[in-house]
Amino acid sequence: MVKVLTIRDGVYDKLSKVKSKLGGSFGDAIEHLIDSYNKSGKEASIGQLAGSLQKVKINRRTLKKVMENL
């Protein structure tokens, strides 16, 4: 099922950066941020997480393997 969300331009830009680093879709980026929040046990903003993947290149196939092993 597809849902439509309305977000501010600045939030879109930050989410787009996360999306690019993951090599997936916006849905993948949002899911990654939610999973990161759930694992940390504390609230994290998109802005705080946007650069969290800068040091590692990750592609969709690698991400899928990692997610399957969780």
What pLDDT, in 10s, does the model give residues 12-66?
998 998 888 888 888 888 888 888 877 766 655 666 666 665 555 667 777 777 7
What is the domain extent for residue 45? 9-68
Tokens of 17: 């950066």
DSSP category for residue 42: S
Is residue 35, in this structure, part of any structural domain at all? Answer: yes
Asked whether residue 4 is domain-assigned, the answer is no
E strand or H helix at 61: helix 60-68
Q: Could you tell me the end-to-end alpha-carbon distance of the chain, in angstroms, rounded to an integer?
A: 24
For residue 36, tell me if it sits in a domain.
yes
Give the whole-angstrom CA distance, residue 41 versus residue 22: 22
Instruction: Convert the pLDDT of each residue in 1-24 to its tens digit.
Output: 778 888 889 889 989 988 888 888
Q: pTM, whole model, 2 decimals? A: 0.51
For the chain, what is the domain count? Answer: 1
